[in-house]
Amino acid sequence: MTGDITQSGLIDLIDEQRSKLGYLSISALMALTKAGNVILDPFSTLISIHADIGRDNIFHPAVRLDATSPATLEIGSRNTFYGDTMIDAQTGPITIGNDNLFGEGCVHVATSQPGAAITIGSDGRYRGSIQISGLSVLGDGSQILGNIIVRDVQLGAGGSFRHPNADERGAVLKGVGQGSGIILQTGQVIAGNGTLAPENVRMQSFYHPDAK
Q: What is the pLDDT of residues 7-18, one digit of tens each?
A: 778 888 989 999
Count other Cβ atoms within 10 Å, centred on residue 17.
10
Cis peptide leading into residue 104 (ω within 30°): yes
Strands 46-47 and 64-67, sheet pairing? parallel
Mean local confidence (pLDDT), 158-186: 96
Q: What is the pLDDT of residues 151-162, one digit of tens each?
A: 999 999 999 999
d(CA 197, CA 177): 9
Which is it for strands 183-184 and 201-203: parallel, antiparallel or unpaired? unpaired
- 70: three-class secondary structure by DSSP: coil
* Alpha-carbon radius of gyration of the chain: 19
Question: What is the distance, to the nearest Å, from the Cα of residue 26 to the centroid of all Cα atoms in its chain?
Answer: 22
Q: State the burial class of residue 42 (Cβ atoms within 10 Å of its Cβ: 0-12, 13-18, 19+).
A: buried
Residue 118: predicted pLDDT:
98
- 33 CB burial (10 A radius; 0-12, 13-18, 19+): exposed
Q: What are the pLDDT digits (tens) for 183-203? A: 999 999 999 998 898 889 999
pLDDT confidence of residue 91:
95
Per-residue pLDDT band at 3 (split at 50, 70, 90): low
> What's this model's pTM, rounded to 2 decimal places?
0.93
> Could you read off the pLDDT of 113-161 as tens digits, one per residue?
999 999 999 999 999 999 999 999 999 999 999 999 999 999 999 999 9
Residue 34 phi, psi (nearest 5): -65, -20
